[in-house]
Structure 1
């Protein structure tokens, strides 16, 4: 098989930042590096030189990230600084066989849009949602999104995003996110047991106040209910204040950011139900990981929540806000149903093994050069 020189481009990099996009790049990169030369370009999260090598992957840190969030939203300023640095690296990037650019790093995606060896991976397509997220300032994002059409190859991480792009006149192929099934099976459950668990960055769109309200309601019938919130972010202080106001200090555990992915899986394995009230999600990596350990998810039926496409009536519940608490209560009280959905969820997740997905991604890259 032909050996490729592959570069991934995003702003933040795993493991220094542990979101879904960063994890996807990491999982694909370490597998592709077994056969190919793989590089990742983004912020310089580390001390020392501008690049380093880990697990066969070369990391290029172009600028310091500074403050990633501004008023609870991703700050555009470090992104613009990184995009400027990437513009200077266009000749270098042009020497790779393939450059996989992530659309959510919009300034960088715009800079690289005419690079002939670049493919664009769409994690979400916002369209008019830009104006709801940023108000009138969303016009810049809306325009930039439409200026990304010159990419010759477009990929989508979910069927929802593929459909959204198709409605906008852009054809793409789906290469979903995945899970490491073998590695997950080796991890033992944590000692901290939970009735409900949430995993994700604590941002406004995660809509955690809905889950906290549901726990408050369910506590009347389940006074010892435990809800574990795994993650950190700009909304943490507000959510902890809501928890205290609802009298849930003895029921809700905020773990903060966990260093190891194994810790997250361990906590998932020690939980009964995955509560995911997110309003907006490009894919829903945490939902897939919960399914992979056999924990049935309760997912919000929001128009922008791509995670709901991972779940069907045999593997979990997809509910509106008015039914969310009822769904959590049903799975908590009905052990038979919970276990049945959990078994089906695990089987469904096995179809998303990273090894298979990396192979599909590799095939597409070979066809694109």
Structure 2
């Protein structure tokens, strides 16, 4: 373990600017947690986007973070020109890095950049893969999805040394496009939150999601409208921002849920996000597209049972422990599942216990060790 000390470059579109995890999505959590673990054994340099919080470069402990491209806000859709400028600048910066042994890309925007840098520096490339979107880009992201579709197809045709999907579900989706012998599943690290907070006075459902179409937050809002008939004081706290924010707030208003649903927007500190989950009775993940569902595991570690759309990555992550599933996009079934958990104390207690045990399969030490061994093996083969 740690016998080979490597210089590793991580390319990720977004990265926090301190240990407070000022981030907005699962990919960024993954990149940060893995950079921290790998930095115990290796020299880590991160290439990421510039934003209003960052200087040109800075350090988080011994991780060197270099900001590339023009300053820009976080986005999951569009921003085509600024993303291209980021890719161009990250490539230029990466090509000037000295003595790199390995480069890792963390999302669709950074995969081609990492590959180009690997070609220039003649070093191995690894892709940390969260989901396969081939054939779904345009339906999910609109017109801007054309760009993503082209990038993903282009990347998977290249001579990549290793792809590390975060789930077996993603691995299986990769197999039609990439050789199976160069794919290894490594689950996400879950940096279990250590938080203390009092339970909310009224029964509360927490949701943490970007407010975009495929997260299906509207299904939760409609479910709350149904639950309100049986539990008038039901509360729902939604953490996240996105292009559908105004639309979802309007839906909440139309359904007369102003006193039941609170939109908390972007919560800067990850600890504060987890306090909301910890204080809530149930965590809800209505999303129909996930690479892994890390927040489900975080909720289980806090003994907060979940209700989630039944999609393979979340089923795999949870092992069907600690929560209930419902048919994706079926808000009536979602409401029924939530009501069952809110009213069945015996079931609730059972799910708390089994979910907490399941969460222990994702410790940062275990995943960090596995990643480091894999990267050491790549370096040994190169020699």
| TM-score with structure 2 setting the length | 0.88
- Out of 109, 126, 129, the residue aligned to residue 105 of structure 1 is 109
1:234 equivalent to 2:243? Answer yes
Alpha-carbon separation, structure 1, partners of 2:189 and 2:55: 32
Alpha-carbon separation, structure 1, partners of 2:289 and 2:54: 37
Alpha-carbon separation, structure 2, partners of 1:120 and 1:332: 41
- Out of 272, 295, 307, the residue aligned to residue 263 of structure 1 is 272
Tell whether the 8 Å contact from 1:29 to 1:57 is kept in structure 2 after alignment. yes
Q: Deviation at 1:111?
A: 3.7
Q: Deviation at 1:162?
A: 0.7
Equivalent residue for 1:55?
Answer: 61
Tell whether the 8 Å contact from 2:102 to 2:124 is kept in structure 1 after alignment. yes
Runs (5+) with no aligned partner, structure 1? none
- Out of 113, 119, 140, the residue aligned to residue 126 of structure 2 is 119
Alpha-carbon separation, structure 1, partners of 2:271 and 2:32: 15
Tell whether the 8 Å contact from 1:94 to 1:116 is kept in structure 2 after alignment. no
- Out of 169, 173, 184, the residue aligned to residue 173 of structure 1 is 184
Per-residue CA distance 1:154-174 (angstroms, 9 max, x = gap): 110112111100133432111
Alpha-carbon separation, structure 1, partners of 2:238 and 2:6: 41
Per-residue CA distance 1:22-42 (angstroms, 9 max, x = gap): 111111112222232111101
1:31–1:339 distance in 2 versus 1, CA, 3 Å: same
1:301–1:3 distance in 2 versus 1, CA, 3 Å: same
Alpha-carbon separation, structure 2, partners of 1:13 and 1:195: 31
Q: Deviation at 1:134?
A: 4.6
Equivalent residue for 2:318?
Answer: 311
1:255–1:90 distance in 2 versus 1, CA, 3 Å: closer
Per-residue CA distance 1:251-300 (angstroms, 9 max, x = gap): 11111111211111111111111111101111112112111111111111
Runs (5+) with no aligned partner, structure 2? none
- Out of 58, 77, 91, the residue aligned to residue 95 of structure 2 is 91
| TM-score with structure 1 setting the length | 0.91
Per-residue CA distance 1:141-160 (angstroms, 9 max, x = gap): 33321222321111101121
**SS state at 1:58 partner:** strand
Tell whether the 8 Å contact from 2:108 to 2:151 is kept in structure 1 after alignment. no
Per-residue CA distance 1:327-362 (angstroms, 9 max, x = gap): 111101111101211211111011101121111111
Equivalent residue for 1:249?
Answer: 258
Tell whether the 8 Å contact from 1:113 to 1:151 is kept in structure 2 after alignment. no
**SS state at 2:70 partner:** coil
Alpha-carbon separation, structure 2, partners of 1:209 and 1:92: 46
Alpha-carbon separation, structure 2, partners of 1:254 and 1:144: 34
Equivalent residue for 1:206?
Answer: 215
Instruction: Give the length in aligned residue pairs.
Output: 362
Write out aligned runs for 1:3-82 (5 A): 3-14=5-16, 15-46=21-52, 49-69=55-75, 73-82=77-86
Q: Deviation at 1:140?
A: 4.1
Alpha-carbon separation, structure 2, partners of 1:109 and 1:205: 27
**SS state at 2:281 partner:** strand
Alpha-carbon separation, structure 1, partners of 2:38 and 2:94: 23
Alpha-carbon separation, structure 2, partners of 1:276 and 1:100: 29
**CA root-mean-square deviation:** 2.2
